[in-house]
A and B are shown apart, each in its own frame.
Chain A
Amino acid sequence: MRFEFKVVIGFIITLSLVILVGIYTYDNNDSQLKASRWVDHTHQVLYRSEQLLATLTDIETGQRGFCLTNNVDFLLPYYKGKENIYPQIRYLKQLTKDNPRQYARILKLETLIGKKLVFSDEVVELYKTHPEESIDLITSLKGKKLMDSIRLCFADLMNEEKTLLERRTLENEQQITKSNQVFLVMLSLTLLILLGLFYTIYLNLRARNRAEQKLVKASKEVEDLYDNAPCGYHSLDAKGFFLQVNHTMCEWLGYTREELIGKKHFFDLLNEEGIKTFQENFPVFKEQGFIHNLEFDLIRKNGISFPVIISSSAIKDNKGNYLRSRTTTFDYTEQKQANDKITNLNQELEAFTYTVSHDLRSPLRSISGYAQILEEDFGNVLNDEGKRVTSVIIRSSKRMGQLIDDLLNFSQIGRKELFHHHINMNEMVKQLVREFTEQEKQYALEFKVQHLNACQGDHNMIRQVWSNLLSNAIKYSQKKNSIYIEIGSSVAGPETIYYVKDKGAGFDMQYINKLFGVFQRLHRINEFEGTGVGLAIVKRIVNRHGGRVWAEGTLDVGATFYFSIPN
């Protein structure tokens, strides 16, 4: 459950509990009030009953006193009592209306009191006229009996009320205890939920704290990465002023961050040539949003410059307006030195091959030329051994010339610039097949050319690949009765594979790794002519096009040479 949801639920439960406690307390107070009212009521019934009994006793006392003393003063409480007693009874009736039994008792009392009062009146009035008769009436015990009945009735009434009082007091106490318990339980529950809620909030706060610490740590790491990465980072505003720059770049330049940000324009760090490059490329960069591998010489604070390579992507707002750049800067010093070294080496190599091509061929031509002069002009004075030796010199110098030519050719292919064009392979191979058929008239050549997929590549070089493979196929089939060569292609994923298949001398697969090496030959020179450069050239050309070469062969059965060109 999500934290916010938990808190809301907890809050709602707590609020409900508080409301419940409130309602319960209110309700409980109300019923307690009612209960205490009932207790009061009982007290009042008791009090009134006692009062009624006291009034009746006053009446009785007044009557007796008068009859004993004939003193009229005694009649004062008597009359007063008679005057008060009925309102008191009415009041009691009012009080006990809720309790039918008590009410019935009051009614009975009322009757008994009525009888008693009639008797007392009779006694008092008789006494005034016939005192002896009155005494007789008193001694008849009728009054006492009535009074006893009344007292008994009173006792019942009071007992009942006392029982009620006890019960109601007990009930009231129980009610208070129960409500206290319920209140305690609810309070504990509220407290528990509040504790739970607090714990949840605490956990969340702790987690948030930790996340914040992590975030701070991560942001510090990112900052460190930005600042101390082994390349320069900076951002330029639309005018080309520094907005941000990392520590590495500051170190390189020898400026402090404060000296750069907002104060230096990027071209303050450039020489004239650099300023030109910048002015040409910065608007383009702002428009297209990126720029890759621009070379600049940056001038340090101390005036010494160093080469860098810069790539950048632009940050734009929603409307596509340029805001700032994110630019990486790589110190290019070492690579540049290495590049210069390579360039130097290449130049040396070129000078070397130039020398070889010119100077080495010259004496060779002399050897071969003069040996031939020997053969032509002095053939008649040379004996057979002399002629044989001369012919060996001629043959060997020719072969050496061929080796030099092939080697130069091979090295040239590595250096020559590639020009990529669409190549119609069908056209190219058909033309070569025509040429070979013409050239090798002495053999019965049979070509089977399948449809060949077109490719992208350097026309002259690819032509040389086909030429070498075809002339090889012909050369190594010479000793068979007929020469059959099959040419085809197939598309395999990201590349197109071409093959040349012959039924010639073939080769042993265990020497496959020697096949494409320079000056590597699998046959003796007197079996098949050649210098062992043809396939090395094929490999080099194909590799330079990003493709692969491989071959399959069986000795005396034939060979298939494959090469692939990326699509």
Chain B
Amino acid sequence: MVQQAVDILLVEDNPDDAELAIRALRKSNLANHLLHLQDGQEALDYLFNEKNTKPKLVLLDLKMPKVDGIEVLRKLKSDERTRTIPVVMLTSSKEERDIVETYKLGVNAYIVKPLDFEQFGTAVAQLGLFWLVLNQTPQ
């Protein structure tokens, strides 16, 4: 698993939400190189491990045990090695302060998980398409 190239790193503590997101991405055939990690600490460990390839997109939940999404984002965006990785917040929180804070830290997009499963699926699929297929990132 470690050696495999990772396109999408999904950091989500809620297994149900993770499953639904993965299902939606898989429907669009975007889940082939997807790694799901369950909390912020795991995510940091993975991303700062030199052996691992950098993902093309990090989908980050906000509220997680141990290290939360904000903290992960801060560390990623303040480190030269990880700064260029696109990070998209995928969260239930519509709170203005969360949106403002993550943007200040340099988040690339902020998506509120729609309640409707269909909408949720569409949103995740479009997201994957945009960042993996359309978007260009520095090599």
The tally of CB-CB contacts under 8 A between chains A and B is: 61
Nearest chain B CB to A412 CB, angstrom units: 8
Tell me the complex Cα distance, A562–B63, Å: 42
Encode contact with B along A399-422: 1 for CB under 8 Å, 0 otherwise: 001101100100010001000000
Task: List chain A residues, Cβ under 8 A from B1.
Answer: none
A366 touches B16 (CB 8 A): yes
- Interface flag for B94 (CB, 8 Å): yes
Tell me the complex Cα distance, A370–B19, Å: 10
Partner of B115, one of A354, A371, A398, A412: A398
Which one of A362, A398, A401, A404 has the highest number of Cβ atoms from chain B below 10 Å of its Cβ?
A362
A357 touches B94 (CB 8 A): yes
Partner of B116, one of A359, A363, A368: A368
Tell me the complex Cα distance, A251–B116, Å: 65
Nearest chain A CB to B78 CB, angstrom units: 25
Nearest chain B CB to A270 CB, angstrom units: 34
With A354-B93, A358-B92: A373-B23 Cβ-Cβ less than 8 Å: yes
B92 touches A357 (CB 8 A): yes
Encode contact with A along B64-80: 1 for CB under 8 Å, 0 otherwise: 00000000000000000
- Interface flag for B118 (CB, 8 Å): yes
Instruction: Give B98's nearest chain A residue, CB to CB.
Output: A354
- Interface flag for B14 (CB, 8 Å): yes
Nearest chain B CB to A251 CB, angstrom units: 44
Instruction: Give A360's nearest chain B residue, CB to CB.
Output: B92
Q: Tell me how many residues of A have a C-beta within 8 Å of chain B.
A: 26
Tell me the complex Cα distance, A357–B115, Å: 11
A358 touches B62 (CB 8 A): yes
Encode contact with B along A333-368: 1 for CB under 8 Å, 0 otherwise: 000000000000000000000100111011111101
- Interface flag for B91 (CB, 8 Å): yes
B120 touches A365 (CB 8 A): yes
Nearest chain B CB to A212 CB, angstrom units: 68
A372 touches B115 (CB 8 A): no
A362 touches B92 (CB 8 A): yes
Tell me the complex Cα distance, A357–B113, Å: 11
Instruction: Give B23's nearest chain A residue, CB to CB.
Output: A373
Instruction: Give A401's nearest chain B residue, CB to CB.
Output: B115
Tell me the complex Cα distance, A398–B91, Å: 18
- Interface flag for A262 (CB, 8 Å): no
Partner of B14, one of A362, A368, A404: A362
Task: List chain B residues, Cβ under 8 A from A230.
Answer: none
A358 touches B63 (CB 8 A): yes
- Interface flag for B50 (CB, 8 Å): no
Nearest chain A CB to B36 CB, angstrom units: 16
- Interface flag for B95 (CB, 8 Å): yes
Instruction: Give A400's nearest chain B residue, CB to CB.
Output: B115
Task: List chain B residues, Cβ under 8 A from A369.
Answer: 16, 20, 117, 120
Partner of B113, one of A361, A370, A397, A416: A361
A408 touches B17 (CB 8 A): no
Task: List chain B residues, Cβ under 8 A from A363.
Answer: 16
For residues 81 through 123 of chain B, which have their beta carbon under 8 Å from a beta carbon of chain A? 91-96, 113, 115-118, 120
Nearest chain A CB to B97 CB, angstrom units: 9
Task: List chain B residues, Cβ under 8 A from A401.
Answer: 115-116
Partner of B94, one of A394, A397, A402, A408: A408
Task: List chain B residues, Cβ under 8 A from A402.
Answer: 115
With A365-B17, A366-B20, A369-B16: A357-B117 Cβ-Cβ less than 8 Å: no
Task: List chain A residues, Cβ under 8 A from B20.
Answer: 365-366, 369-370
Instruction: Give A361's nearest chain B residue, CB to CB.
Output: B92
Instruction: Give B63's nearest chain A residue, CB to CB.
Output: A358
Which one of A363, A368, A401 has the highest number of Cβ atoms from chain B below 10 Å of its Cβ?
A368
Task: List chain A residues, Cβ under 8 A from B92.
Answer: 357-359, 361-362, 365
Task: List chain A residues, Cβ under 8 A from B16.
Answer: 362-363, 365-366, 369-370
Instruction: Give A394's nearest chain B residue, CB to CB.
Output: B117
Tell me the complex Cα distance, A362–B61, Å: 12
Instruction: Give A368's nearest chain B residue, CB to CB.
Output: B117
Task: List chain B residues, Cβ under 8 A from A398.
Answer: 115-116
Tell me the complex Cα distance, A397–B113, Å: 15
Nearest chain A CB to B12 CB, angstrom units: 10
Nearest chain A CB to B130 CB, angstrom units: 22
Task: List chain B residues, Cβ under 8 A from A368.
Answer: 115-117
Tell me the complex Cα distance, A370–B14, Å: 14
Tell me the complex Cα distance, A404–B92, Å: 12
Nearest chain B CB to A413 CB, angstrom units: 12
A365 touches B115 (CB 8 A): yes
For residues 448 through 474 of chain A, which have their beta carbon under 8 Å from a beta carbon of chain B? none
Partner of A364, one of B63, B96, B115, B118: B115
A365 touches B117 (CB 8 A): yes
Task: List chain B residues, Cβ under 8 A from A394.
Answer: 117
Instruction: Give B94's nearest chain A residue, CB to CB.
Output: A357
Could you list 7 A-B pairs, sorted by A, with CB under 8 Å?
Answer: A361-B113, A361-B115, A365-B20, A366-B16, A369-B16, A398-B115, A412-B96
Q: A398-B115, A402-B115 are in contact. List 11 more A-B contacts (CB 8 A).
A: A358-B62, A358-B91, A359-B63, A361-B92, A362-B16, A368-B117, A369-B16, A369-B117, A398-B116, A401-B115, A405-B94
